[in-house]
Amino acid sequence: MDAAPDRLAMLGVWPSMSDQIVHHGPGAETPRRDFLLLMTGALGGIGLISALWPFVDTLEPAADTIAAGAPVDIDLAPVKPGQQIIVKWRGRPIFVVRRTPDQLKMLQDKADTSLLRDANSTEFQQPTYAKNWHRSVNPEFLILVGICTHLGCIPEFKPKGADVAGGNWPGGYFCPCHGSKYDLSGRVFAGVPAPYNLPVPPYHFTAKDKVRIGENPPNDDATYSLSDVDQI
Ligand code: FES
């Protein structure tokens, strides 16, 4: 099921982002060269420009690794609390967020969960080892496939207080194409076009601050892969 990346390729946006990593949030930087890359993407896909962020190329996986669809190793140590980075795996943007204690508390608050379509992740959008309220292995780190489950746009990372939904935004993701919203566990809000939570890719930690995306944990009984997931 590689339809979503193909749609992005047709729009001329994702290829200009290839092999790049995106940082967003506290401490993010915007090198000029990377800004030019961003503008190149804009020429090919004005409709999705609001879904893009400035690029940096530290932590960049090797191009042949990406092309082969192999697992990608990420160093999480530089990711600041509350910050998101984006890496590319199998042609898909992968969102990685270091969540703060306040953000984790919010995700368990009834004020958040009562507004969600699938708060308990009953739909098969994550491996069994991420089937929990934080939809992750380590609650501190959120790892998602960053493709909206409606029609495949790239949702924007919107921290708490961002101008979303007329105020009182608790933090999460907003899709600029048709307005779908997700919380900071990638759980979709009710009443928006997207039918499912954002998918969680297979992954496991190889060390305290190192994660391998694209591979289930060793000795895990699950045979989870993205081809099992709906709408991506
Ligand atoms: Fe995201 Fe339609 S593609 S809301």
Please list the pLDDT of the chain residue by residue as tens digits (232 residues).
444 444 443 333 343 333 334 555 544 433 323 322 232 233 333 333 333 443 334 345 556 655 556 899 999 999 999 999 999 998 899 999 999 999 999 999 998 899 999 999 998 899 999 999 999 999 999 999 999 999 999 999 998 888 887 778 889 999 999 999 999 999 999 999 999 999 999 999 999 999 999 998 887 766 667 776 655 5
Nearest CA among 119, 122, 118, 176 for reference residue 150: 176
The CB of 4 under 6 Å from ligand 1? The reply is no
Residue nearest to atom 4 of ligand 1 (CA): 178
Cα 195 to ligand 1 centroid, rounded to whole Å: 10
Single pTM value for the model: 0.74
Question: What is the C-alpha separation between 96 and 144, in angstroms, rounded?
Answer: 7
Q: Which two tokens stand for residue 204?
A: 């496991």
Question: What is the C-alpha separation between 123 and 87, in angstroms, rounded?
Answer: 25
Exposure of 142 in the CB half-sphere (CA atoms within 13 A): 33
Cα 92 to ligand 1 centroid, rounded to whole Å: 16
Nearest CA among 87, 116, 86 for reference residue 185: 116
pLDDT for 223: 66
Q: In terms of C-beta density within 10 A (0-12 exposed, 13-18 middle, 19 or more buried), how is residue 151 classed?
A: middle
Question: What is the C-alpha separation between 131 and 199, in angstroms, rounded?
Answer: 11
pLDDT for 124: 87
Question: What is the C-alpha separation between 78 and 113, in angstroms, rounded?
Answer: 30
Q: Per this entry, what is the length of the chain?
A: 232
Residue nearest to atom 3 of ligand 1 (CA): 151
Active site residues: 178
| Cβ proximity of 194 and 149 under 8 Å | yes
The helix/strand/coil state of 17 is helix
The CB of 51 under 6 Å from ligand 1? The reply is no
The CB of 178 under 6 Å from ligand 1? The reply is yes
Cα 153 to ligand 1 centroid, rounded to whole Å: 6
Residue of 144, 149, 151 best suited for mutating to test ligand 1, as the one with most atoms within 8 Å of CB: 151
Atom of ligand 1 nearest to the CA of 152: 3
Cα 133 to ligand 1 centroid, rounded to whole Å: 23
Amino acid letter, residue 34: D
Nearest 5°: CA angle at 60, between 59 and 65? Answer: 125
Q: Which two tokens stand for residue 71?
A: 């697992």
| Cβ proximity of 213 and 124 under 8 Å | no
pLDDT for 15: 37
| Cβ proximity of 96 and 76 under 8 Å | yes
Q: Please state, in angstroms and as integers, the Cα–Cα distance from residue 5 to each residue in 145, 197, 218, following that order.
A: 11, 18, 28
Cα 155 to ligand 1 centroid, rounded to whole Å: 8
The CB of 151 under 6 Å from ligand 1? The reply is yes
The CB of 181 under 6 Å from ligand 1? The reply is no
pLDDT for 58: 39
The CB of 47 under 6 Å from ligand 1? The reply is no
